[in-house]
Amino acid sequence: MKYRYCPICTNELKRVFLDGRERQGCESCGFIHYVNPSPAAAMVLFEKQDVLLVKRRFEPRSGFWSLPAGFIEADETPEQAAIREVKEETGLDVRINQLVDVHSGCHAMKKRIVLVVYWGEIEGGSLKAGDDALEALFFPIDNLPPEMAFNSHLKALEKTISLRSQLQGG
């Protein structure tokens, strides 16, 4: 995103070259506008041989299925965000078993995202779609819906299924 004025001193921003990249900077106060990726967190949850997915209510990829996931708030850890997103989207209370993977991708709005994916366990609550989910359902791991929203979620799911299989002895 390009800005015209400095958010610190309101002078016009200029093109500056820093760290081998062109950026926007303020010659008056020294402000540099860094365009960094947004952090997000997701959770993989199983019930026997089924995995929990949510149907997205909003863009990007409205009507497509994904892991429960969302952006990390400024006052949260990635773990807290993953647990919060599951509760908001599915009504379930969960705990984290382990970190599965970290993916880098591009949001539909051309914004870079870093997705931190956890494998968790359900501890309570009642399954119901909420917040920005149209539906929350368990799907057999060998029969996922074809309308998956994000490739990164599929990769994380495949990795978690592999880890789970290794831990269960095959």
Q: What is the DSSP secondary-structure string of 29-86?
A: T--EE--PPEEEEEEEEEETTEEEEEEESSSSSTT-EE-SEEEPPTT--HHHHHHHHH
- Partners of 14 in the β-ladder: 25
Q: How far apart are CA 83 and CA 47, in angstroms?
A: 17
Q: How far apart are CA 106 and CA 60, in angstroms?
A: 11
Q: Which residue in the list 73, 76, 135, 147 is annotated as catalytic?
A: 135
Evaluate whether 42 touches 153 at the Cβ level (below 8 Å): yes
Evaluate whether 136 touches 54 at the Cβ level (below 8 Å): yes
- Partners of 65 in the β-ladder: 55, 148
Judge whether 135 counts as a catalytic residue.
yes
Catalytic residue set: 135
